[in-house]
Amino acid sequence: MPDPFDALYLFEARRLAAQYHWRLLPAEAWAAAAQQIAPAPADVKAVRRALYTTYGVVLVAACTAPADSVRREQAYRELYDYFWREAYYWDAEAACDIAQEAIVLVFRSFTEPGLARCTDPATFLDFAHGKLRAARTSVWREDARLRQQVSLPEEDGVCEEGDRSAGRELADTRAGPEETALRREAEAEREGWLKATEPRVITATLASLLELWRKSRLRRQVATVIYTYLDRAADAEIASRLGTTPVNVQPLRSRGLDKLAEQLEVRLALGQGGCP
Domain boundaries, the chain: 6-148, 161-270
148 or 100, which is more confident? 100
Residue 165: its pLDDT value, please? 47
Lowest average pLDDT, out of 28-32, 127-131, 132-136, 236-240, goes to 236-240
Distance between CA atoms of 28 and 26, rounded to whole angstroms? 6
More confident residue, 176 or 174: 176
Reported as a single tens digit per residue, the pLDDT across 48-99 is 999 999 999 999 999 888 788 888 888 988 998 899 888 888 888 888 888 8
What is the reported pTM?
0.57
Q: Please name which of 98, 88, 97 lies closest in space to residue 134, comparing C-alpha atoms.
A: 98
Judge residue 139's burial from the number of C-beta atoms within 10 Å of its C-beta, 0-12 exposed, 13-18 middle, 19 or more buried.
Answer: buried
Contacts of 266 (CB under 8 A, 6+ apart): 272
pLDDT of residue 93: 81
pLDDT, tens digit, 9 for 90 and up, residues 86-107: 888 888 888 888 888 898 889 8
**pLDDT at residue 149 tops 70:** no
